[in-house]
Amino acid sequence: MRTTSASASSRLGSSANHSDCRRDGSAVKAETLSRKVREILGTEIAFIANDSFVGRRDTQELSEFAQAVESGTDPMKRLAAGLPAHLGRMCATPLLTSEQESELFQRMNFCRYRANALRSRLRINAPNAERIVEVEDYLARAERIRNYLVQANTRLVMSIARRFADPRNNFDDLLSQGIASLMHSVDKFDYGRGYRFSTYATCAVRRDLYRMVMSAKKDRQRFSTGSGEYLDGCERAADPNTELSEAAWKQLRGAIAQMMQHLDEREQLIVAARFGLDDSAKKASYSRLGERLGISKERVRQLANRAMEKLRELAPEHRLEGLLS
């Protein structure tokens, strides 16, 4: 009798443990779902409204092309000829016809509209797993369409960026800003008005690149320290066609080397790369230096300005102006 009683007690204890595990598992699952609901409710879902969306379920008949884009099975891409490899890949997505463009914009905004409508019915205290999955699925579809629209219009940004590019305004920097403007334009374009996206995007990208160029010009004027002219003169002196004696050139190089010692390691690297003091054939862009140093291009620009200020203060002491003249 004792053995039977002990066995029964063991089975009861085991059953209680399993029950506790099930309760713990359910609690963890509920907390996970509640956390997802909080994330979804805390994320803004922006879309361009259209009267055709109201009261409509997801019964829209899509073309095979739109279905492929929405599912992530993109149509075949071809590298653009006559461009560097990285630019060729960026332009691999074919241009869109007016009908394709309109359908993709409509579908992207409808997916966001449906996600927003479903999101409004989510409750943190009573999360619905199926509804969460449905919201996330609609957002993923919209994101795939958005990415395709950006890729299909990258050629437009490149053509505009080329017009603004010059020795003072790096093409890669302009292209990066132009792509950011393009992405914003995709989100804000109202396809229901009937005109092509390229018309809207061209105005937006041109405006932003113009502002970028003018802002950079103002920064150059504002932070013009005089040291830039000295270093530019040093760079020109390296040209064998310039009329600078070997002795003067050695003095100039020595003075520059002494001044550079007052800069920290990053500042030295930036100044040397920007003014050709590292014997490189081409000036490095802020974005390229940022990648090399693991910082943003804006931070590189700030460090360059700080270095120029230090060199300006040191220039009179080393009599650079007299050496260059």
Residue type present at position 147: N
Q: What is the CATH number of the domain that holds 306?
A: 1.10.10.10
In one-letter notation, the amino acid at residue 35 is R
Q: Is 43 among the domain residues?
A: no
91 and 216 both lie in a single domain: yes
In angstroms, the CA 62 to CA 198 distance is 23
Domain count for the chain: 2
Residue 108 shares a structural domain with residue 123: yes
More confident site: 237 or 97: 97
Single out the residue of 249, 230, 229 nearest to residue 239, CA to CA. 249
Nearest CA-CA partner of 156 in 195, 190, 198: 198
Q: Would 24 be classed as within a structural domain?
A: no
Cα 205 from Cα 161, distance rounded (Å)? 9
Q: Does any domain span residue 6?
A: no
Give the angle 36-28-21 at the CA atoms, nearest 5°.
Answer: 160
By mean pLDDT, which of 7-21, 245-259, 283-297 is the weakest?
Answer: 7-21
- Do 231 and 200 share a domain, yes or no? no
Q: Domain check: are 168 and 83 in the same one?
A: yes
Strand residue runs (E) in the chain: none
Q: Are 144 and 186 in contact (CB under 8 A)?
A: no
At 103-140, the pLDDT tens digits run 999 999 999 999 999 998 888 888 888 999 999 999 99
Let me know whether 231 and 203 are in one domain: no
The residue ranking higher by pLDDT, 307 or 86, is 307
Say yes or no to pLDDT of 296 above 50. Answer: yes
Q: Whole-prediction pTM value?
A: 0.61
Q: Is 189 helix (H, G, I), strand (E, B) or coil?
A: coil
Q: Is residue 281 part of a domain?
A: yes
Residue 15 domain-assigned (yes or no): no
- Judge if 163 and 284 occupy the same domain: no
Question: Does residue 149 share a domain with residue 68?
Answer: yes
Q: How many helices (H) and strands (E) does the chain have?
A: 14, 0
- Boundaries of domain holding 159: 51-221
Examine the pLDDT at 318 and tell me if it is beyond 80: no
Rank 15-19, 178-182, 256-260 by mean pLDDT and report only the highest: 178-182
Last residue of a domain, one of 221, 248, 276: 221
The answer to whether the CB of 94 falls within 8 A of the CB of 154 is no
54 neighbors 118 (Cβ within 8 angstroms): no
Question: Looking up tokens 């505009």, which residue turns up?
Answer: 160
Kindly state whether residues 172 and 101 are assigned to the same domain.
yes
Q: Answer whether residue 198 is part of any domain.
A: yes
Res 270: pLDDT: 87
> What is d(CA 277, CA 230) in angstroms, rounded to the nearest whole number?
12
Residue matched to tokens 């966001």 = 112
In this structure, the answer to whether residues 76 and 167 fall within a common structural domain is yes
**In 3-state terms, the chain is what percent helix, strand and coil (to 5)?**
70, 0, 30
Domain harbouring 180, CATH code: 1.20.120.1810
Question: Which domain-ending residue is among 192, 221, 250?
Answer: 221
Q: Tell me, what's the pLDDT at 237?
A: 47
Task: Indicate the SS3 state at residue 82.
Answer: coil
Cα separation, 306 vs 2, whole angstroms: 87
Instruction: Round the average pLDDT of the chain to a whole number and report it.
Output: 80
What is the sign of the dihedral through the CA atoms of 190, 195, 201 and 207?
negative
Asked if residue 194 and residue 238 are part of one domain, the reply reads no
Of 166, 190, 221, the domain-final residue: 221
37 domain-assigned: no
> Do residues 215 and 240 share a domain?
no
Backbone φ and ψ of 93, nearest 5°: -75, 130
Q: Are residues 156 and 208 in the same domain?
A: yes
190 domain residue, yes or no = yes
